[in-house]
Amino acid sequence: MPDVRLPLLAVLLAASLAAAPPEDVRALMLQARALQLRGGGSDPAAAVAIYRRVAAQVPESAEVHLRLSEALQEAQDPRGALAPARKAVTLAPRSAEARAHLGLLLYQLSQSDEAMAAEAAKELRAATALLPQDPELWARLGEVSEKLKDNEGALQAWLHLGRLRPSFQAAWERAAIHARALQNYEGRRESVLALNARNPDERQLRMLEELARDQIQAGYLAHAEESFLLLAQHLPREAGLWENVALVRLQTSRFEEALESLGKAEALKVTPRTTFNTARALMNLGRFQEAETRLATLLAGKIQEDWIADGSQALYAETLLLQGKGGALLTYLKEHPGREQVAGELQVFTCQALISRNDWKSALAALKDGIARFPKVPFFQQAAELPPDCLEYRFFSRKETRAVLEQLHLEGMAAIWSEFRRWDKCLEALERARSLGPVKNVDILIMQSSAYDQLGRADDSLRVLREAQKTNPGNPMVQNNLGYQLLEQGQNLEEAASLIEASAKATPDNGNVIDSLGWAQFKLGKIAEAEVTLRRAAELSPFSPEVRKHLGEVLVKQGKLAEAAEQWERALAFVFPDRPALEKRLGELRVRLAREQARKVGEAQAPAPDATPDDDDEE
């Protein structure tokens, strides 16, 4: 505890000296201080007697009452120490030393008298605001908060103590308990990570694994990856941990990194699951031949899990189609018809393979079979809307009839290319499809707009959305996408808002659309409305980083900096392309918050304008 001397009231001290007191107050204070235990003495009772004599002469001196309280406490009279401690705080409410002494004294008394706990907590909170770097104050505040069953207060106290003393595991342990009870995600994450930062025991590792799985469940993929990597650091021979890291990276489209993690997992143990996921990563990297080899090996063996068997068949069909190996695909599907659950999807691949080989007669038969058996599959729904003549083989001498079927196939291929984020190939297939005839499905225009957008061709993306608007002006997705595109390009904000409002009216429970609406309101300067709307979007899409980013922007604009930082923290729990930029902005916001906090503490500790000068100033 710092030994900061409190001010003697100059006027009263001068008056006492002017009256020529028989005793020198300063000399008495020094004499008493030397008798205190903390002054190196051994007779606190004698110090008490001297301080009482000084207090009689300068009763408004906060320092005298503080030292008297200290001496009484040293003399094993904490009850007697309470009144002068309270008096010192009353006389000098901004004194960090007086607040800290009173808080710790009340904590001591609360150990035997629970009635003192509430006041102890109050004074300790005030003291920590003035002395935030004092670990003892935070520890006592944590303990007394627990006594009061104040989980939130205890959590914050133990977190602060852990940050001051990172190696003090007891603080993190208690913080983790309170965070779990309060379902406080950030507190739980911070404390569990801290417990596992050095040499965790088995129980702490289990806490980390449980946290990681809960993070996956909640969609906090960036945080889950962090947790699994920490687990893998402590348990490097556990193949499943590296596989979990890879799954997060696959889900966030970081395929090279996913492949690296899968390699570590397979170096320890090869499973059908790791083989399947490696094939997925390879396909997303455009390495189709390698993926085909792995999938062929996998499908040749016995797969226990149905979802891996079904997924492997679909991936194998797609990789053969994307390599132009329609014949090999037809041979495989003839020998391996698949389970009933995936029959519709495999029928689509059969039709596409036949069309790609210009086997029109077989393609028509497969198409009509698919329309009859799988009417809810989008590919066959679209085929069912073709003119009846197009489904009759006798008309296939007509060029335009064949073009309709080829267009259907190319649009299906574009969808597969988009699945693997190969936007150049997706766009190439769509442009070829459009050269064969007019677009009949607005979803194709939306896909083409997305492909242009992903390739950085914003003007072309906007042009295609305008085309989609003419084709189907009331389509909510078209309205939302067009409106948001206009917002991002800073064009026609009023039109953008009108389009998004119409989309929101049609789909009031769509979090993405409500987010667009809130962002439009923000761009138009309707800040209060934007906050309400974006809070609603956060309820509808609680795991969307975009919504959290936008809400944070609105809160910053309103000066609600602490909550803005919280929203951006939540956004960073996810993985998204411009994450580094948000990390930088959050860092700047934290600096700003820290400066404001320091300013407030400085103001709290500064003497009042009419305060009596400190003894040191007088001397």
Q: What mean pLDDT is predicted for residues 605-611?
A: 49
Q: Are 58 and 9 in contact (CB under 8 A)?
A: yes
CATH of the domain at 575: 1.25.40.10
Cα–Cα distance, 619 to 614 (Å, whole number): 9
229-243, 356-370, 383-397: which range is least confident on average?
383-397
Quickly count: other Cβ atoms within 10 Å of residue 515's Cβ: 28
Mean pLDDT rounded to a whole number for the chain: 89
Asked if residue 542 is part of any domain, the answer here is yes
Higher pLDDT, 294 or 616: 294
Say if residues 600 and 576 touch (Cβ distance below 8 Å).
no
Torsion on CA atoms 18, 21, 23, 29, rounded to nearest 10:
-50
Higher pLDDT, 191 or 403: 191
Query: What distance in Å separates the CA atoms of residue 566 and residue 411, rounded to the nearest whole number?
Result: 43
Instruction: Answer yes or no: is pLDDT of 46 > 60.
Output: yes
How many structural domains is the chain composed of?
Answer: 1
CA distance 258 to 282: 10
Comparing 43-52, 96-105, 599-608, which segment has the lowest mean pLDDT?
599-608
pLDDT in tens, 200-220: 999 999 999 999 999 988 888
- pLDDT beyond 60 at 42: yes
Report yes or no on 551 lying in a domain: yes
What is the C-alpha to C-alpha distance for residues 406 and 354, in angstroms, rounded to an integer?
A: 10
Question: Does the residue 459 lie in any domain?
Answer: no
CA dist 385 and 382 (Å) reads 5
Distance CA 33, CA 63 (A): 11
Give per-residue pLDDT as tens, 245-282: 999 999 888 999 999 999 999 999 999 999 999 999 99
Q: Whole-model pTM?
A: 0.78
pLDDT for the residue 614: 42
Q: Give 104's Cβ-side CA count (13 Å radius).
A: 20
Confidence of residue 602 (pLDDT cuts 50, 70, 90): low
What is the pLDDT, as a whole number, of residue 395?
A: 59
Cα radius of gyration (the chain)? 36
pLDDT score for 597: 77
Select from 132, 207, 209, 135 the least CA-distant residue to 167: 135
At 551, the pLDDT band (50, 70, 90 cuts) reads very high
The 3-class secondary structure across 50-95, one letter per residue, is: HHHHHHHHCCCCHHHHHHHHHHHHHCCCHHHHHHHHHHHHHHCCCC
Q: What is the pLDDT of residues 91-141, one digit of tens each?
A: 999 999 999 999 999 999 999 999 999 999 999 999 999 999 999 999 999
Residues above pLDDT 90, as percent of the chain: 78
- Secondary structure string (H, E, C) spanning 472-512: CCCCHHHHHHHHHHHHHHCCCHHHHHHHHHHHHHHCCCCHH
pLDDT band at 510 (very low <50, low <70, confident <90, very high): very high
Domain with 541 in it: 511-606
Q: Is residue 229 part of a domain?
A: no
Per-residue confidence at 393, pLDDT binned at 50, 70, 90?
Answer: low
Range in 158-162, 270-274, 604-608 with the lowest mean pLDDT: 604-608
Does residue 371 lie in a domain region? no
SS3 249: helix
Does 516 fall in a domain? yes
- Asked if residue 411 is part of any domain, the answer here is no
Q: Is residue 534 part of a domain?
A: yes
